[in-house]
Amino acid sequence: MLNQKLKDRHIILASGSPRRQEFFRNLGLDFEIRLKPIKEEYPDRLFHFEISDYLAQLKSLPFLEELNEEDILVTSDTIVWHKGIALGKPRNNDEAFAMIKSLSNDTHEVITSVCIRNKIFQKTVNAITKVTFKAFTDEEIWYYIKTCSPLDKAGAYGIQEWIGQIGVTKIEGSYFNVMGLPTHLVYDTLIKIADEF
C-alpha cells in the first residue's frame, strides 16, 4: 500500500542499521541505502528530544545538494534519556557496563527522531517509549556485554536481545521505537507526504 502511494518517489534510507533496513523492507518499501559519515555532536543547550531531533536533521545535511524533488531521504537517531542525561552508544565495554548498571532497577526513556526530507520539504517526528528494567546483577550485565554487541546501540542494549528478554518489566509506548525506528510514525508521515507533495 505505502509503496504504491510512493511509486513516483525514490526513497533513500541513510542508515547502516540492519534493524532499520529490515523495518523498511517490512513496510513494503522499495528503497536505496545511502551512507555518509558524520560526527554525531550536538550543542549542550539541547534537552531531551531536541537532541535526537537535531542529530536526525544533522545526518541529512550531507545529502542535500544531491537530492532531487522525487527523492525522499530518511535519517534517524535514537538516544536513551535517563536522569537528565542522554545516553548514546558506549565507546567500550566498561562504558557499556556503567550505562546498563545505571538503567538497572529503574525507568528510562528511549527517544527516536526521524527526519524525512528532500529539496522542498522537511518533516521531523519523534517517539518516546518508557522502559523499566529489573535489578540486574553485575554477572548478568557482563554476560550480556560478552555475548551480544552493545557498542552499536544507544544505552548499550537492544531490547530484542537477551537482556531485554530477561530484564524488561514494563514498557509504555512503541516497542519498535526502542529497537530503533517508530515504524507507525514513519508510515503515517510518509502517507501524509504522499498526499501533500
Please provide the distance, in angstroms rounded to a whole number, between the alpha carbons at the two ends of the chain.
Answer: 17
**H helices within 27-137, ranges in order?**
49-60, 93-103
Could you give the CA distance from residue 72 to residue 12 in angstroms, rounded to a whole number?
6
> Is-catalytic flag, 8?
no
Tell me which of 77, 106, 138, 188 is the catalytic residue: 77
Per-position DSSP letters for 43-58, written without gaps between them: -TT--THHHHHHHHHH
One-letter amino acid for residue 48 of the chain = H
Distances (CA, A) of 159 to 24, 36, 162, 182, 184: 19, 27, 8, 14, 18
Could you give the CA distance from residue 44 to residue 6 in angstroms, rounded to a whole number?
38
C-alpha Rg value of the chain to the nearest Å: 17
- How many other CB atoms are there within 10 angstroms of residue 38's CB atom? 14
Would you name the residues annotated as active-site residues? 77
